Amino acid sequence: MLTRREFGALTLSTVALPALLRAQTVAGVRLGVQTYSFRELKRPAGGDLVDPIIAAMKECGLTECELWAPQIEPASSVGSGRPTPEQAQATRETVKKWRLETPLDHFRAIRRKFESAGITIYAFNYSPNDRFSDEEIDRGFEMAKALGAEIITASATLEAARRMAPFADRHRMNVAMHNHSNVTDPNEFATLASLEAGLKLSSHFRINLDIGHFTAANYDAVSYIREHHARITNLHLKDRKKSQGDNVPWGTGDTPIREVLQLLKKERWPIRAYVEYEHKGETGAVDEVKKCYAFAKGALA
């Protein structure tokens, strides 16, 4: 057992702090949140969503997250409605310039804010598409490291994953591909075959399994996790109906949230399970995330 002096010295260590924060578990299962869940929060004028996200997580009692990149990038200057091609291109150029030119100390400062609040950024959700330059892809890995993230998660296509592979190898950083439910598009990570194809692109590729989308695609999340747990970094927890059904309040759909969490509890696999509030709620993002978190804790009882 650590003495109070030893514990104080340990907590002051910037090396030890992230490990301490990651120790937060419920029944042996590491729970957290995808910060996309807080997309409804109001962005301060001229700023990012770092402070509102931290406040929301503290209110929810959550200490670990997957940080969604758009929440720390410049906000779109386009108002409501569909942007014109010219507006979309201008926004694209603004964000590209920001990604390439923002000093890495900016991201280190974000990390310190989260750590000061007792929160770990486990993953940086950075999702290159066909408009990204190689320099932007490379920069995403540098951002992730500066943020203190262990991995990158990506809602990317197979083609984008092919472009990311050499950068993952060079940076020696794992990238977990996020699945969706559109099984008709061979470029999407949705089918069992596409997930397997993605894993073969790099020894640093993993899976960020969204069990709601997986269920909507009519797959069995429990069986898949049991068979592929060694290559799964974290889960997105949401409830959807089968056969491309809607996102629905937890416990009213077909997604085996309780069964999945019980499997993680039983097997003690180091797979994070993150709340992703995506259904149409009634009480606002923070309260809805609280409900989801309470459901997850109840499922692990």
Determine phi and psi for 191, rounding to 5 degrees.
Answer: -85, 165
Enumerate residues 6+ apart whose C-beta is below 8 A from 112: none
pLDDT, one tens digit per residue, over 263-279 is: 999 999 999 999 999 99
Distances (CA, A) of 177 to 2, 164, 190, 223: 39, 11, 10, 19
Query: Residue 17: what are its φ and ψ, rounded to 5°?
Result: -55, -50
User: Average pLDDT, stretch 164-172?
Assistant: 98
| Nearest-angstrom CA–CA distance, 66 and 176 | 12
Q: Spell out the domains of the chain, with CATH numbers in brackets.
A: 24-299 (3.20.20.150)
- The mean pLDDT value of the chain amounts to 92
The mean pLDDT value for 151-171 works out to 98
Q: Is the pLDDT of residue 2 over 70?
A: no
Instruction: Tell me, yes or no, if the pTM score tops 0.85.
Output: yes
